Amino acid sequence: MTVEKWERRSEVPLILLALAFLVAYAWPVLDPRLDPDTRTILDALSWTVWGAFAIDLLIRLVLTDDRRAYALRHWYDVALVALPLLRPLRLLRLLALLRILDRSAANNLAGRVLVYVGGAAAAAVGLGALAVLDAERDTPEANITSYGDALWWACTTVTTVGYGDRFPVSTEGRIVGVVLMLLGIGVVGAVIASVTSWILARAEAERAERRNP
């Protein structure tokens, strides 16, 4: 079996695992009064997902011809397996969805913009809010103490507005902030580049129509 065949066969299970992990991660963050038994079950589910992703990565590395090049090209898969202990960064496991989105995105410009920019913006805000709330909630001097605060902070950060009324104070929260800032810059840059490319393509098409009526 080739690595491409394995990736196609594992797409649906990986999507389901990523969604299961999102539930297991988000539930305790949004409901800190969750009973210990349920929390234990969700933690077990989270680590089970990590194990499944680690096995998937190992299989793909075995099937590929150039393991080093494959690992560099799929750095996000390596990161989600290598960084399981820093709790907010466990959300990197959801980056496995990028591989599926990359195959399912339309070939035209509009399709790519819709999938990548729209999906990245929504995911950045929602998941960034979860991650920073998880990191900040137990910090004594934290000013992000509810999901509403976290969502407001994520929106102002990813749009590069940054009012400064809410900000992370813990090391893990600041790491989440840096990632969100970089992603925000990337999203804005992608929008500008896509619009510019579309305008240039339209202008070139109109010039071609004038030359060939």
Long-range contacts of residues 105-109, Cβ cutoff 8 Å, at least 24 apart: 109/194, 109/197, 109/198, 109/201
Chain centroid to CA 146: how far? Answer: 21
**Rounded mean pLDDT, 83-111:** 53
For the ranges 46-50, 98-102, 204-208, the maximum mean pLDDT occurs at 46-50
User: Same structural domain for residues 122 and 55?
Assistant: no
**Rounded mean pLDDT, 25-42:** 83
User: Same structural domain for residues 210 and 123?
Assistant: yes
Contacts of residue 53, defined as CB under 8 A and 6 or more positions apart, other chains included, come to 14, 17, 77, 80, 81, 93, 96
C-alpha 88/C-alpha 90 separation (Å) is 5
Q: What is the pLDDT of residues 52-84, one digit of tens each?
A: 888 888 888 888 888 888 888 877 677 777 765
Q: Residue 80 in contact with residue 92, Cβ under 8 Å? A: yes
Q: What is the pLDDT of residues 149-208, one digit of tens each?
A: 888 998 888 877 778 888 898 888 888 888 888 877 777 676 667 667 767 777 777 777
Q: pTM of the full predicted structure?
A: 0.61
97 belongs to a structural domain: no
Residue 73 corresponds to which tokens in the numbers above? 């090209």
User: Same structural domain for residues 24 and 76?
Assistant: yes
Q: Which domain holds residue 191?
A: 105-213
Contacts of residue 57, defined as CB under 8 A and 6 or more positions apart, other chains included, come to 74, 77, 78, 81
| Boundary-marking domain end, from 92, 121, 155 | 92
- The answer, yes or no, to whether residue 129 has pLDDT greater than 50, is yes
* CATH assignment of the domain containing 150: 1.10.287.70
23 belongs to a structural domain: yes
| Boundary-marking domain end, from 60, 92, 124 | 92
Overall domain count for the chain: 2
The type of residue at 133 is L
User: What is each CA distance from 165 to 5, 143, 144, 145, 157, in whole angstroms?
Assistant: 49, 9, 10, 13, 11
User: Same structural domain for residues 115 and 86?
Assistant: no
User: Same structural domain for residues 113 and 207?
Assistant: yes
200 belongs to a structural domain: yes
User: Same structural domain for residues 84 and 130?
Assistant: no
99 belongs to a structural domain: no
pLDDT computed for residue 53 by the predictor: 83
